[in-house]
Structure 1
Amino acid sequence: MWKCLSLPKFRFHASATALKKAPLKLKGKSGAEQRWLVRQLGDPFVKAAHSQNYRCRSAFKLLEIDDKYDVLRPGLSVVDCGAAPGAWSQVAAQRVNAAGERPDLPRGSVIGIDLLHIAPLEGAHFLSNQDITDPATHAALQRLLPQAQADVILSDMAPNASGLRELDHERLVSMCLSLLELADKILRPGGSLVCKYWDGGLTHKLRDGLARAFRDVRTVKPKASRKESSELYFLARTFRNT
């Protein structure tokens, strides 16, 4: 899913001063659109994404997770689910040396999947306009992955927001649970999975499912994930593959 440019459920109130300082392109937009744009303009991670040529601010969430937990290493094979616009694939490609920029290190691979089109990226192979839950997509991954197996599954995917918090939470949990079926098919024993979820009544169901499949499951809240957001990540490591 396109996670960076679509408008979320708005709970922020832009001040009159901020709106006055905002560019003229805000004129003609709804109040919700104005508040979102003003927030983006003042977001240090948005600015950093532009200055460091990342496709989206979400890159810094994965960077922080990897810096702390060492999920991505040169030579690993990574599947990025819900990859558009490609920021997590950018990070993964750098960290696993998918483009071979470090000839002294093992060369990994990155495959990104999304229902939307993803612009090409050096070091990554994208399966655009494809559904991660489709068995045909699973088969394509098995053909593309070295030895038909991945070391890491990443997921920053999310459903299009309905505006109903519990419904959106349930839909995202369902999407995350579908990754367990994917893991059974492609994840190497000992592999890792990182998935975004929105906290809510079914969080325990997702945690329990991950705990059955992985030896270590923990909750992570990167600094780039806004404090007021219910967004969290599960980091699941040491896939059992039983």
Structure 2
Amino acid sequence: MTERKKKNTSGRSSAEMTGRLLHTKVKSARGRKYSSKLWLERQLNDPYVVEAKTRGLRSRAAFKLMQLDDRYKLLKPGDSVVDLGAAPGGWTQIAVDRVGAVKGKGQVLAVDILKMEEMAGAKVMQLDFTEEDADVKVKNELGGPVNAVISDMAAPTTGHRQTDHLRIVYMCELALHFAIDVLAPGGCFIAKVLKGGTENELLDQLKKNFAVVRHAKPEASRADSREAYVIATGFRGGE
């Protein structure tokens, strides 16, 4: 069942954050599509976008991982983490902070098909994770088992609900198969899914390999978004 968090990490509710903003309208410009105008308007009036800029975070998505970790205590000092679909680095920043990577207590490997700016405390790897042997290349960068595999990977949307669902399930499956290969016993897995959660076969795999499987929609996920996240904890060690 989808769960919602009542407070964000900043200690302010989204309503309180929104209340500090005046609604900004974007004038139509020649050559600008109406959909682009709406997107820009939403960005300018999104409290999480504003807060991310204030804190020096690379994306508003950072708050999603903050809220999931605050609720479920997933990342611990000294943990080793693989962040799939990392660019531009919002989740990576949170992972680096939570495991103490800058202080040498843990390590974070960020992987994305897009080029991502280097980050203190993280190793950045540009790679298409859907390519054959991509998982092997990532494993070669690791020094051994990891404590967490976190994935915000998502294929470009088509607007066709069934197609988009199948694409995001596929990305989640890729991340899960990788996680089963590299996680240490007791490790955790987080991946993006769509509203309604995981499909039966994928859910069976999760329940087989993890002690607890939950679905959650963090407060920072936009209300009109169909995205949610599967959180699996207590990896059984590939039993």
* Distance of 1:219 and 1:92 partners within structure 2: 20
Report the equivalent of 1:156: 152
Name the CA shift for 1:23/1:229 in 2 (closer, same or farther; >3 Å): closer
Q: Does 1:52 align with 2:55?
A: yes
Report the equivalent of 2:172: 176
Name the CA shift for 1:213/1:135 in 2 (closer, same or farther; >3 Å): farther
> What secondary structure, in the 3-state scheme, does the structure 1 residue paired with 2:207 have?
helix
Report the equivalent of 1:123: 121
Deviation at 1:165, TM superposition (A): 1.6
Length-normalised TM-score, structure 2: 0.84
Q: Among residues 80, 84, 90, which one is paired with 1:81 in the alignment?
A: 84
* Distance of 1:185 and 1:201 partners within structure 2: 23
**Unaligned ranges ≥5, structure 1:** 1-17, 101-105
Is the contact between residue 79 and residue 112 of structure 1 (CA under 8 Å) also seen in structure 2?
yes
Q: Does 1:219 align with 2:215?
A: yes
Higher relative contact order (CA 8 A, sep 6+): 2
Is the contact between residue 197 and residue 215 of structure 2 (CA under 8 Å) also seen in structure 1?
no
Partner AA of 1:236 in structure 2: A
* Distance of 2:67 and 2:198 partners within structure 1: 26
Length-normalised TM-score, structure 1: 0.83
* Distance of 2:131 and 2:183 partners within structure 1: 16
Is the contact between residue 221 and residue 233 of structure 1 (CA under 8 Å) also seen in structure 2?
yes
**Unaligned ranges ≥5, structure 2:** 1-22
Partner AA of 2:94 in structure 1: V
Q: Among residues 199, 202, 205, which one is paired with 1:206 in the alignment?
A: 202
How many residues of Structure 1 are paired with residues of Structure 2 in the alignment? Answer: 216
Q: Does 1:141 align with 2:138?
A: yes
Name the CA shift for 1:201/1:127 in 2 (closer, same or farther; >3 Å): closer
